[in-house]
A and B are shown apart, each in its own frame.
Chain A
Amino acid sequence: MARRISIAEEELVSLLKNKDQKGFNILYNNYSGALFGVINKIVQSDDDANDLLQDTFLKIWRNIDNYDSSKGSIFTWMMNIARNLSIDRVRSADFRDSSQNISMEQNIIYQVDTEHQTVMDVDSIGLRKVVDNLKPEYRQLIELVYYQGYTQAEVSEEYGIPLGTVKTRIKAAVGSLRAMLSGLWLIVNFLF
């Protein structure tokens, strides 16, 4: 993946609303890797992931007028589209038939990327090293809710923790991530 093209979000959104091909190219260049990573984590099948990435971009393109910047960033909105399409696919009948009895949790916990045909994005190596320092239980929590779309009730069941505690646990996980990332920016600024 090429380096992210620096563009103001509003500018990108207005290019997309005008159905400008330049908008599509920037969108794809900047976000396809991150979205593809999310999709791959959920569906674990190259063919399905390719299909779903296509569906995701088509849906983004068709529904860009529904995107409301006051409610969140463009990435959060696109991420939700990619995630929901992927979860729908996983839960659909024919997907369950094709992928044998691997439980969702096993997928997440025991997933080894080298067994997978996909190529990790080279530009994200630095970021990944930082994120790798996240405590395993925090990482698992983030993946369950952010990638897999687990509800608070499902998390509560998964962890055996009271529903009321789920929110604070998630906050701690995100907070830990934020602390690491702010440390990362210090290191990046120091080195380059």
Chain B
Amino acid sequence: MNIQEYIASGVLESYVLGLASAKEVAEVEQLAMQYPEIKLELRAIEDALESYAFANAQTPPAHLQSKIWEQIVAESEEKQTKVLDFDTGKEIDLTQQQAPKLTGFFGSYLRVAASVALLGSLLANIYFATQWKETKTNLSLAVNENIKLQKDIKSQEGMMQSSEVNLLMDPQIKMSKLVGQKGAENSTVMLAWDTKTNKVYVVRGNLPTPPAGMQYQLWAIIDDKPVDAGVFDIKNNTQELKKVPPAKAFAVTLEKQGGSPVPTSDIMVMGI
């Protein structure tokens, strides 16, 4: 198929103008999907004719816009309230409709039955409404709890991140990494030591969970002697420990809860 010849034939103009035969319409639609040039050409023809229509545009009376919108609204409301008779398929006018009169024994029996059914239905309504209300209360409690938890998490994260970042950004802070010693090769601890205030921080403690009643203790090695630098918890990040003078090295041991005056176990991690 020669696309340029097809475009030159004028069939695309006929298509846009609604002059094309059914066969031509099918053909144009098929080819437009296949060849982008044809699609582009169709669009260009449409745009030109659209511009022609816009060149001859006339302003309709101002009130028409709201009038048409009212008509649209009225039509959609009519559609919603339209009730068709099941047998005849004709529309039932609900405003004119009257309930058929029930008479005789059967009628009164039906009325009693209807009253009983109505009463039952009312009781059921009350029961379900109460249940529903309770469920709703529980749900809103759960939702509130959830929101509160999320807020807590957010604020903790924020605090942690900001203190960590502050430490890392501070030029007077010296970072050191303590590495695992024999028996705890995979452990590491990141320390930060403030050269001005002498405060020492445990930034991250990657250590095994201590047994109950035990805690990790940091030691500053000063003059070849371990000086207590405080205990820390591996679950918390960036904990401020004690102030220690400039140390040659740092080490961590496992001690009883609250710490020990002198190290009593093997060194887990160590570094300078």
Contact = CB atoms under 8 A, between A and B. Distances in A.
A58 B57 contact: no
A79 B49 CA distance: 10
Given A37-B58, A70-B33, A145-B19, A75 B72 contact: no
Interface of A: 1, 19, 21, 24-25, 28, 32-38, 40-41, 49-50, 53-54, 57-58, 61-62, 70-73, 75-76, 79-80, 118-124, 127-128, 130-131, 142, 145-146, 149, 151-152, 167-168, 170-171, 174, 177-178, 181
14 contacts: A21-B69, A34-B53, A36-B57, A37-B53, A58-B75, A62-B75, A70-B29, A72-B42, A76-B46, A79-B50, A118-B59, A131-B56, A145-B19, A152-B14
Contacts of A118: 58-59
B115 to A, nearest CB: 42
Chain B residues touching A, range: 35 or more
Contacts, number: 145
Nearest to A77: B46
A76 B54 contact: no
Given A28-B68, A58-B68, A178 B48 contact: yes
B17 interface: yes
A111 B48 CA distance: 23
Given A61-B72, A171-B13, A41 B56 contact: yes
Q: 10 closest pairs, A vs B, by CB? A: A171-B10, A33-B57, A121-B57, A167-B10, A127-B55, A131-B55, A34-B53, A37-B56, A128-B55, A36-B60
Contacts of B8: 171
Interface in B36-93: 42-61, 64-65, 67-69, 71-72, 75-76
Given A127-B51, A145-B19, A167 B14 contact: yes
Contacts of A33: 54, 57-60
Contact of A124 (B13, B33, B56, B60): B56
Given A71-B29, A170-B17, A58 B60 contact: no
A120 B46 CA distance: 22
Contacts of B57: 1, 33-34, 36-37, 120-121, 123-124
Interface of B: 8-11, 13-14, 16-19, 29, 32-33, 42-61, 64-65, 67-69, 71-72, 75-76
Nearest to A155: B19
B177 to A, nearest CB: 56
B58 A120 contact: yes
Given A170-B13, A177-B49, 11 more contacts: A32-B64, A33-B54, A34-B54, A36-B58, A54-B64, A54-B68, A71-B29, A75-B50, A76-B50, A146-B53, A171-B9
B53 A75 contact: yes
Given A58-B72, A70-B33, A167 B17 contact: no
Contacts of A123: 57
A177 B52 contact: yes
Given A121-B59, A145-B17, A167-B10, A174 B49 contact: yes
Contacts of A28: 65, 68
